[in-house]
């Protein structure tokens, strides 16, 4: 990806467990895709972000985004670059810094990149993997679809974004 997102591919779809060959007969292909979607839903079932979502809504979310494995030390977002990707942490942790100062640590269920995705401006922070991570990367369109899945989910995401903006304002005021 370019434009402030993950700067180099960190995993192929095959390595991430996504079926890469769809040349099977249609019934076999549907079974493979259904099994993959069920695995993907299990990835998000235990995350706090989706607590208020129904099973149907979680299935819809599981169809979105690209799952990637990220090695420790990899920069996921870079401050002052453009990008519309939003990243959801499935496992592992990442550190968020603004102008070199650590402002947050992200863990399973946390997400980042939403401010640039919402306003189309440059990234407000740099995020770097502290540990090996599993993440889901939503492009701008998929993020819009994610927000449409559930009003409660959209409100939860917006509240987190508002809290982050307020914290950033508080840091500037000091």
Q: What are the residue ranges in the chain where pLDDT is below 50? A: 1-38
Convert 90-112 to b/e letters by CB count within 10 Å (16 or more is b): bebbbebebeeeeeeebebbbbb
All residues at 6 or more sequence positions from 12 whose CB lies less than 8 Å from its CB, including other chains: 20
pLDDT digits (tens, 9 = 90+) for 60-97: 998 999 999 999 999 999 999 999 999 999 999 999 99
| Matching residue, tokens 């810094």 | 97
Residue-range domain boundaries for the chain:
26-173
Per-residue pLDDT at 174:
62
- Report pLDDT for 173: 66
pLDDT at 168: 75
- Rg, the chain, Cα only: 17
pLDDT of residue 136: 94
The predicted structure's pLDDT at residue 172: 66
Provide the CATH number for the domain formed by 26-173 in this structure. Answer: 2.60.120.10
């Amino acid at each position: 990806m370019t434009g402030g997102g993950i700067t180099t591919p960190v995993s192929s779809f095959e390595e991430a467990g996504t079926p890469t060959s769809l040349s099977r007969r249609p019934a076999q292909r549907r079974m493979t895709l259904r099994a993959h979607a069920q695995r993907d839903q299990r990835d998000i079932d235990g995350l706090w972000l989706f607590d208020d979502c129904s099973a149907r809504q979680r299935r819809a979310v599981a169809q979105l985004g690209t799952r990637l494995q990220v090695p420790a030390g990899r920069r996921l977002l870079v401050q002052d670059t453009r990008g519309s990707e939003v990243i959801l942490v499935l496992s592992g942790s990442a550190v968020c810094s603004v102008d070199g100062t650590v402002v947050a640590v992200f863990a399973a269920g946390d997400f980042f990149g939403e401010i640039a995705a919402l306003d189309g401006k440059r990234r407000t922070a740099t995020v770097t993997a502290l540990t090996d991570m599993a993440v889901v990367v939503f492009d701008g369109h998929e993020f819009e679809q994610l927000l449409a899945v559930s009003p409660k989910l959209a409100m939860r995401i917006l509240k987190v974004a508002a809290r982050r903006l307020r914290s950033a304002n508080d840091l500037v005021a000091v």
